[in-house]
Amino acid sequence: MTKRTPTTKDIGLLWQLFKDGQLDLAPEFQRNAIWPTPAKAYLIDTILSDRPIPLLFIQKGRSLQTGRTLYSVIDGQQRLRAIFDFLGDRFKLKESRDPAFYGKYFSQLRVAEQERILNYDLMVDELSGYSDEDIRDVFVRMNRFVVKLSPQELRNAMRDGAFHDFCEKIGQKDFWRDNNVFTRTQRQRMKATEFAAELAILLAEGPQDKKSAIDLYYMRYQEKFDFAKTIESKLETYLKWIAQSVPDLQGSFIRKPVHLYSLISAIDRLVTGGSKLSGLDTKNFSVSLYKLDFDMRSDNPSALATRYNVASGRQTDNIGPRTARMEVMCVLLLGRY
């Protein structure tokens, strides 16, 4: 008869069971340990901060030879291995916000801090009476459709404030949906919000490296974001001009975020440099864009098309490739292609 028993076990007990050979962290269906040290250290800081961590699933059985109770981890191996590695002084705490913990091994913590870890209760679902086939099925069901949080979903979960709210607002614009810039799933996973953050930073400071710039803005502009109205107005104007200049935007390569970012950055470069948006020839740009698309896919592309292709190939959100693509788009906008 199968049975599931919700319970708690403190880290000290599980550590002792592991050392006594009664807790198996790696049944054959489990994947190998893959957590990097920063991830392990962050988990320990979570425990020291008395924050909850996800539920563990453990199979409970009994040894036929000794009669001892045995446990096998179904889900939670990486978390327990990280904890046990720290208890064994295999890494330092380098992901802690508390200077009292930072850079220390477990053995270097004060006794009270060590006890805080050892007495931390882990939520556990104990499974007994399940066959090996049942346990494999449980493991597959738990892991089959696990979706890792994207960087933007993590930012959204960890931070709020003025810049956060501004990006949420811009990310909900119909333009992204109507022109097939982002699919429904991508919008649900906050890709449009992340792109809104990239564009806000672009229109405030020019092209920047993506990750470091976004994280900095989320931290810096929690209280207020003074550029919000100006940036939203500029973006609305630029998106309207693009929609007019590229009637088949939904089917054009320029609708993709990497290329749309390049075009918006080029428009802004020219406008802030003194050009008037109304003075840019929409029909000529549309033709030039079509020519560039054809040129990039030809067997013998021009130097300009090659430059754009190379800058679109990898590390597309670094400042170097972004600047190169922007400069190519400026050539198209000025009718010099």
The Cα–Cα gap between 311 and 127 comes to 53
Q: Look at residue 30 in the predicted model and tell me its pLDDT.
A: 55
Does the global pTM surpass 0.75?
A: no
Instruction: Identify whether residues 96 and 180 lie together within a single domain.
Output: no
Instruction: Of 11, 125, 121, 143, give the one whose Cα is nearest residue 59.
Output: 125
Query: How far apart are the C-alpha atoms of 261 and 257, rounded to whole Å?
Result: 6
DSSP SS3 for 57? strand
The answer to whether 248 touches 180, Cβ cutoff 8 Å, is no
State which of 143, 166, 183 marks the end of a domain. 143
Greatest alpha-carbon pair distance for the chain in Å reads: 87
The per-residue pLDDT for 145 is 67
Do 226 and 94 belong to one domain?
no
Last-in-domain residue among 143, 165, 182: 143
Shared domain for 166 and 139, answered yes or no, is no
Structural tokens at position 229: 């109205």
Q: What is the pLDDT, as a whole number, of residue 243?
A: 95
Same domain, 191 and 271: yes
Residue 73 pairs in a beta bridge with 58
With contact defined as beta carbons under 8 Å apart, do 73 and 24 qualify?
yes
pLDDT at 126: 94
**Is beta strand 23-24 parallel, antiparallel or unpaired with respect to 69-75?**
parallel
Looking at the fold, whether 248 and 305 belong to one and the same domain comes out as yes
Q: 337 and 304 in contact (C-beta within 8 Å)? A: yes
Q: Where are the alpha helices (DSSP H) in the chain?
A: 11-19, 37-48, 77-87, 111-118, 132-143, 151-158, 162-171, 174-178, 184-188, 191-205, 210-220, 228-245, 257-272, 282-296, 303-311, 319-333
Q: Which residues of the chain have pLDDT under 70?
A: 27-34, 145-147, 149, 158, 211
pLDDT of residue 81: 94
Indicate whether 63 and 211 sit together in one domain. Answer: no
pLDDT of residue 160: 78
> pLDDT per residue over 255-270, tens digit each?
999 999 999 999 999 9
Do both 39 and 124 map to the same domain? yes
| Rounded distance between C-alpha atoms, residue 5 and residue 328, angstroms | 63
Q: Is there a single domain that holds both residue 114 and residue 159?
A: no
Nearest to 204 by CA among 229, 173, 172, 223: 229
| pLDDT at residue 211, rounded to an integer | 66
Picking from 109, 143, 177, the residue at the C-terminal end of a domain is 143
114 & 155 share domain: no
> Is residue 175 domain-shared with residue 128, that is, in the same domain?
no
Its domain, for residue 20, covers 3-143
**Residues 118 and 40 reside in one and the same domain:** yes
Number of domains in the chain: 2
Same domain, 137 and 91: yes
Q: Are 61 and 70 in contact (CB under 8 A)?
A: yes
